[in-house]
């Protein structure tokens, strides 16, 4: 997973570099380019990722419970 701090540091360094330069338009172009690249990468936010992890954990719990229930039913059916 990509570290957001890395992007913040990159952004601050680019801002500092461009602030010392008269080419203010370059900053806008670079930011637009980076935003476009990240959009094409189809990344998810941390919040979306955490929600999916919680959903997966609940699904695993339900699956484990269902597997145990099926095992009980199979055992009961075998004893008859």
> Rounded to the nearest 5°, which phi and psi values hold at 2?
-80, 135
Note the pLDDT tens digit of each residue in 56-67: 999 999 999 999
Which pLDDT score, from 0 to 100, does residue 65 have?
Answer: 97
Contact 18, 24 (CB under 8 A): yes
Which pLDDT score, from 0 to 100, does residue 22 have?
Answer: 63
Query: Domains of the chain: which residue ranges?
Result: 1-43, 44-80
Note the pLDDT tens digit of each residue in 33-76: 888 888 788 888 899 999 999 999 999 999 999 999 999 999 99
């Amino acid at each position: 997973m990509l570290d957001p701090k890395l992007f913040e540091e990159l952004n601050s360094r680019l801002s500092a570099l461009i602030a010392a330069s008269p080419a203010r338009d370059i900053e806008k172009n670079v930011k637009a380019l980076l935003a476009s690249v990240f959009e094409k990468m189809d990344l998810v936010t941390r919040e979306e990722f955490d929600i999916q992890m919680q959903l997966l954990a609940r699904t695993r719990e339900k699956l484990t419970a269902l597997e145990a229930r099926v095992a009980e039913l199979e055992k009961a059916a075998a004893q008859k």
